[in-house]
Each structure stands twice: as C-alpha cells, then as structure tokens.
Amino acid sequence: MLFAAMVGIHDVLLRHAVERGTEELLAQRLATILDAVASAPEGDRDRIAHALSRADLEVHWRRDAAPTPEHPSREEWPTVAARTAALSGVATELRVRPGRYEAASDRLVGIGAVARLQDGSWLEVELASFTVLSADQGVLHSYAATVGLALLLAVGFAARSVSAPVSALAKAVSRLDPEGEPPALSASGPREVRQLAEALTDMSMRTRDAFRQRTLALGALSHDLMSPIARLRLRAEDLPEEVQQPIRRDLAEMETMVSDVLAYLRGGHGGEAVLPLSIAALVRTVADEFADAGTPVEEGRIDDAVAPGRRVAIKRAVTNLVANAVRHGRDPWIEVEALPDAVLVRVGDRGPGIPPEDLPRVTEPFFRGDRARTAGGGSGLGLSTAQAIVEAHGGHLAVESALGRGTVVTLTLPRWPQGADDGQPSNKTM
C-alpha cells in the first residue's frame, strides 16, 4: 500500500509538473506571438501574422470582427489565459480554448487562443498540441523521477530560449533614436523573435526617414509663415502711430503663436548636435535675460552639473517654464540640483496655484485653465513644448501645485556620464 501510495503521489506530482510546464510553455509562446503582432504598425500586422504561420502554427489578425470559436462547448483554459496575459499585457480580452478536434482519436490536437488587442482588433492563434505523457503507465511510474527532472530542465531551457532573446530585443528597442541609425537588433532566438527584430529594424528606418522629412517640412513652414508677418510689420511702419501700436501688438502675438506651435511640433528635434551642457550656466543665462527685461528671477540652489542635450531646445524649455511662472504667478524662482545620475531643474512661483481639477491637463497642447484665460497671453503650448523637449532628451517633466501656495515644475534630465569626454559632441543629432 505504501508503495502504491508513493507511486500514486509521484504520478500526481509528475502530472501536475507536466501540466504546469506545458502551460508555461504555451503561455510563453502565445505571449511572444501576441507581442510580435501587437507591436507592429496596423498596416503590417496581417503580413506578420501570415509570416508567423507554418505547418504547426496558424496566426490570423482581424481588424474588427471577433473570431467564432470552432468548439464553443469546450472548456476554456483560464490558467494559460491568465499567464499569457501576465507575460504580454497587450490584450484587453484573452480566451484560450481547445483547438481543432480530431474525431478519429477523440482527442484535441491543438490549443486555440483568441485575443482582443488594445486598438480593438483581434488575433487568433492555433497551436499544435504537445504529447508529453507516455501512454504506458508502467514505464511512466518506473521512470517518473527521471522524466520529471528532464521535463523541468526542458521547461527551464525553453523558457530561457524564449525570454532571453526577447529581453535583449527589448533593451535594443529602448535605445532606438527616431533620427539616428537603428541599432543592430538581435537575430537570435525563436523564429518569431527573429521576424520581430527584422520588422522593428524596418519600422525604425521608416520612422527615421519620416522624422527627417518632418524636419525639412518644419523649416519650410517656418519660412512661409514668418515672411508674411515680417512684410506686414514693414508695411505698418507707413501707418499713423496710433494705428501702428495695435497692429504691432497683434503681429507680435501672431509671431509668438507661430513660433510656439513650430517649437511644439519640433519638440527636442531641431537639428542640433547633442553636446555636454552646463545646466547651471544655462539657467543663469535665462535668469539674466528675464532680469534684463525687468522681471527678476530668484536663483536658489544652483549645483554645477553637466547633461547631454541640445542647447537651444533645453534653453527654450527652461524659458517657457520661467515665462509661465512670471505670467501666471509672482516671485518666480529657479534652482538646479545635481543627483548621481540625473539633473533636476525646478522652476516655481508663489502665485495662486493651479486648481486640482486642472492639474492633470496642464501639459496638454493648447490647454489653458480659467486663470490663464483670464490673465491673457500665451498660446497654451509652453508646458507641452517643454515636456516634448525633455522627453526627447530621455527625461521627464512633473508639475506640483497647491492653491494659494504656488506651482513648481521639475525637469529631470539624465546626467552626463562621469569620465566622458566633455569636448566631444554626441553622434546623435536632431
């Protein structure tokens, strides 16, 4: 009886391990396929889905029609669905069900998955089944420990062979520069990962070309918009003085709005080379310019710190923040704090603050709260442009405000690597 109990327990444990291992393998496989298709542009998804298909794998992408299950009466596989969703995260709805049914043997020969992607399209996957357990129970019981160990090793190797190339690919993708040369993406790993790497490389090259075309278009647009404004300003000189003043104000406002829109569209991509910048010197320059214009800016803590960046773009971001503090608050101040791996630029005021309901929207393009509209001036692009510039430099922007106490905007920029050659510009240009 003890032997029978041990054999029975071993059999149960082995079956459990086999089931869990099979579920993990299926979840990893399904997650890789989901990520490969969902990360591609919509126009390429059908092509990628067909490229992933082969004799034992069928992948179909549908724009809007939900697939109809072949066997609606069969149970779904919630554990595999949950694990796949945890690994991928690109599906808003995911069902894993038995696949095609083979009547001759009365068994399922595949696993089916139906996923609804975040854009509302659908992905259907059919995988051939895995035959893991032996039908000879005597052999199974005799070699249960060996089979269990081999299965665990196989699961670990398979998981590693799938996850390692995906991790390496994710790191390479995180280094993609919209206007730089695409990095060499790993061509190792499963077939799906190799195809994904090729698709990402192609997408990166198309994105780079699109950014370059946009830069040329923005330059032409700037000339086409600014030239008529300059001509109107010259023609206004011939008008009486009392007529000139309102025209000049309107033209100045138009010029500012055009400049703000172009700066927002350009973001941090303005054709400058990335150079090591002294953030302290740049901040002091901005403060001096406002002081020369009659608006003193209090300088707080100013740490010496160097960050890689495009000087004109970073200066515009800081200038926009100070201009907002001057326009919508009072007693503007600025400070620079150097951290081991980052540089923080804080711009604040002691004004009325931003209402809590407006705070989540202040970085939206053209958004101006009630107080900003009442105060007049500005295009509603100051914070949006600053955010676009900082994010293009690998940083981020945060806004904090309390009613009656003022507002603080913090720019976080990556710090120039210690020991780097400060005299050499980066190869990245925008």
| CA 166 from centroid of its chain's CA atoms | 17
d(CA 214, CA 219): 9
Residue 343 has pLDDT above 80, yes or no: yes
Is the per-residue pLDDT at 429 higher than 70? no
Burial class (CB in 10 A: 0-12, 13-18, 19+), 358: middle
- pLDDT for residue 54: 82
Residue 71 pLDDT > 90: no
Q: Which pLDDT belongs to residue 73?
A: 45
Instruction: Write down the H helix ranges in 101-185.
Output: 137-142, 144-174
Tell me the percentage of the chain whose pLDDT exceeds 70.
66
Q: Give pLDDT, residue 134.
A: 39
pLDDT of residue 133: 43
Under DSSP, the state recorded for 181 is P
pLDDT digits (tens, 9 = 90+) for 303-316: 999 999 888 889 98
Looking at residue 149, what is its pLDDT? Answer: 67
The larger pLDDT score, comparing residue 298 to residue 144, is at: 298
pLDDT at 250 over 50: yes
Q: Which of 18-32, 39-53, 176-190 has the lowest mean pLDDT?
A: 176-190
- Higher-confidence residue of 119 and 211: namely 119
pLDDT at 187: 63
Give the model confidence (pLDDT) of 145-204 as tens digits.
565 667 667 767 777 766 777 777 777 666 666 555 666 666 666 777 777 777 777 777
pLDDT digits (tens, 9 = 90+) for 366-406: 776 655 544 555 567 778 888 888 988 889 999 999 888 89
CA 23 to chain centre: 30
The string of DSSP letters for 354-415 reads --TTTGGGTTSTT---HHHHHH----S-HHHHHHHHHHHTT-EEEEEEETTTEEEEEEEEEP
CA dist., res. 244 & res. 215, Å (int):
35
Q: What is the pLDDT of residue 147?
A: 59
> Contact at 8 Å (CB) between 299 and 284?
yes
Among residues 138, 367, 395, 176, which one has the least CA distance to residue 264? 367
**Reported confidence tier of residue 425, pLDDT bands at 50, 70, 90:** very low
Q: Which residues touch 178 (CB under 8 Å, ≥6 apart)? A: 207, 208, 211, 269, 430
Residues 233-246 as b or e (16 or more Cβ within 10 Å = b): eeebeeeeeeeeee
Higher pLDDT, 117 or 236: 117
d(CA 22, CA 155): 8
Q: Indicate the average pLDDT of the chain.
A: 76
Give the residue among 110, 138, 136 at the shortest CA–CA distance from 125.
110
Pairing of strands 298-302, 333-338: parallel
Determine the pLDDT at residue 88: 87
Dihedral angle computed from the Cα positions of residues 391, 392, 393 and 398, in that order, rounded to the nearest 10 degrees: -10
